[in-house]
Structure 1
Amino acid sequence: MKVAKFGGSSVASAEQLKKVACIIQDDPARRVIVVSAPGKRNSEDVKVTDLLINLGNAYQVGKDYQYELERVLHRYQIIIAGLQLSSELVNTISQDLVQVLEKDYDIETKLEAIKASGEDSLAKILSTYLISLGIDARYLNPQDAGIILSDQPGSAQILPESFEKIYKLRKSNQIFVIPGFFGYTPEGKLVTFSRGGSDITGSIVAAGLKAELYENFTDVDSVYCVNPQIVDQPKEITSLTYKEMRELAYGGFSVFHAEALIPAFKAKIPVCIKNTNNPNALGTIIVSEKEVRGNPVVGIASDKGFMSLYVSKYLMNREVGFGRRLLNILEDEGISYEHTPSGIDDLSVVLREKQMTPEKESFVIERINNELHPDLVYIERGLALIMIVGEEMHSHIGTAAKATQAFADAKVNIEMINQGSSEVSVMFGIKEEGVERAVRSLYNAFFR
């Protein structure tokens, strides 16, 4: 049994859904299908999820939302007409969405349900299309599939009892089409994963079914070792370990959701990233272990939008609980951190810039001054993180030296270096303006 998940670009139009149907028919082992909401058809297009968020925002502020609703339904009308399905399906989707808007939910649950309707509607369209082709297919709501989640809207986590319920799906010979991105709490409340969470659904279902393979179909032949928008025609990665892919996803690789691999990793299920537009391409396989290839670095990831909170105090190392109290201040303001490089008398906290609004910034600094009495505290914005990733780095001498030389060759100053305890990655903090120069120089150093 294989679980196949199709991303937004794979289900963006009727033409793409026809390709999806061919891929499903091509392998009888693909018995469970997980889908995203329709993505962009071209670079100028808008994702259906974004249209739904606009609809939810209009509803929340009491604005007339008819225009936003019509934009969403128009996308489905085009897909349904292109698949030559009954227009009644459009009416069904419209009624479902209006019912969500009119239902007596609290506003948070209503907004969650509006966002989740993109995946839900697409799953209904695809299952109907498969049936029209003579395939024994069935739409399956996540609640009926057994996807039971924690009550954390927008960042829900799978509950252990889900896997036993999902495993029961093996008893059927039907092809199930399950919408990704959302599930239900034990009390029956709809909750979603973080944005892009359909990858997580696919991984959870694969783990629950104990599938032999989890296929994640997207719009690229494989994972590249660096962002192809920065480096022209970069090398493809044929195999990765779970840890390497997790680090790369966190570092900015958009091909895979950063949290999606965890269920598959725990269940030791290999994951294959494949191209809907070229399904016979080899793709990239993600496994627990892989053979040694020689190059210690498998990929270079980069991401912008970070900032650093710098705190300095003489004899900080002797002050018991200093770091805990600093992080408690951030926790009180609902701010999560990414990294905490430290010295004897100073500590930096790296976090996502969007979390620290100007109002929060002044309040946080005031609290730090009043409660921790530092010698110096300031915030530096406009940082980017670059990561070199590879499980073999720990056994190769000179990897860090080669990387720092690459930054010097690119004339980019390193603001911060941090190596994780797992030794799978080394992270460099730099100013945003130097990202592309640094990434190209690193690519030349390790891959050319």
Structure 2
Amino acid sequence: MRRALVVLGLALCGFLVLPVAPAAAHPLGNFSVNRYAGLTLHPYRVDAVVVADVAELPTLQDPAPSCAEAAGALTVSVARSRLEWTVDSSSLALTDGAGGLKTSRLECRLTAPAALGAGPAAVTVDNGFRADRIGWRELAATGIGVRLDGSSVPGATISDELRRYPDDLLSSPPDVRSASFTAVPDRAAAAAAAAPARASGAGLAGPLAGAERWLDSVVGGARLTPLVGLLAVLLALVLGAAHAALPGHGKTVMAAYLAGRAGRPRDAVAVGATVTLTHTGGVIALGLLLTTFAGVAGESVLGWLGVASGVLVAAIGLGALLSALRRRRAHHHAHAHGHEHSHGPGRWGIAGLGVAGGLVPSPSALVVLLGAIALGRTAFGILLVFAYGLGMAATLTAAGLLLIRVRDRFAGRLRLLERWRRAWPPATAALIVVVGLGLAGRALSTIA
């Protein structure tokens, strides 16, 4: 009944928009499921430590992880015979995450009999636990009384069993799902596990990381006073503006389009407003989808939205390129006053540019919204998302207005610049096509 009310509330507010800033609670993002399996091979058995570190959104959406699930997903075969695991111990802990949501950590100790003491035996390992989820995938294997020849994995964990993630690997986390080696009896030399890496835990970089964490704590806090609520809304505005100032969000494409198509100040305002509405609506729609359908993988949805955004940008650029080439052929005569007719951007181009800029919602905005929904603060969560979108729009609009002012101030003062202006429309349109295809390709590469 509560979920139905939440869905109804979101549907009634579907015209609003959702903002985003990176969430601090989980090192690889709020969609991630991080997996580790460490094997210790003995002459007559194999022991395994299996760990899953589950971020906020999978914890909210998916069934609670269990050691039975983990044991079924960890396939170890000795001489092509699959081992049958027995669970020695298990634990599942929930901890507070971003936006008042929970993260979960599953730890399992498994054991299985294996004939490794008689002679060399081929061993294969595959960990398929929650394979559809993005995240850190780590395998390790060592032996006691058994030597591992040709092993493709390290002898010890590099993350302290998903407790401490090395800073230098967070941008490109390991994706080790399988391993193979030969186990050879060697009682003279027991393999010693290397000490795990002890990298200090890293929070979000940048001066706004603490502000983002405070906003998450406000959403998930037990008490919410009017003053704290007002401060949270103002902070969401600032975070949205700062987030839009980071690389991305179509600022380059918007600048090229407005410059190449003689954009006006109202066009820059229209782009900013469309980005706000699209981004807010996208966050709310995705939040509604994730709370209604547990089987939907949010990271895959974001990936496809990124592809759609890139394709839309490329289509806008292609339309602008064809239009510029047609005008060039039609107006290939000299003008008495040395200038060309002004051709402002079309409505559809401006609208498409704003939609493309706001189409991909931020995972951290989803955390804010879903955390508010979980505590019955749906309206407050939507308000924060809308404030975040307004902050984004302010930055993008200011960037567009600044570009137009600089263009109008210096255009025509230099002959070289005047010649370049004649080439702007087709050149910038071609640039937009290239950027759009690049965005689509990058997003497509993230979809498993």
- TM-score band by shorter chain is under 0.3
TM-score by length of 1: 0.25
Higher helix share: 2
Higher strand share: 1
Q: Which has the higher contact order (CA 8 A, sep 6+)?
A: 2
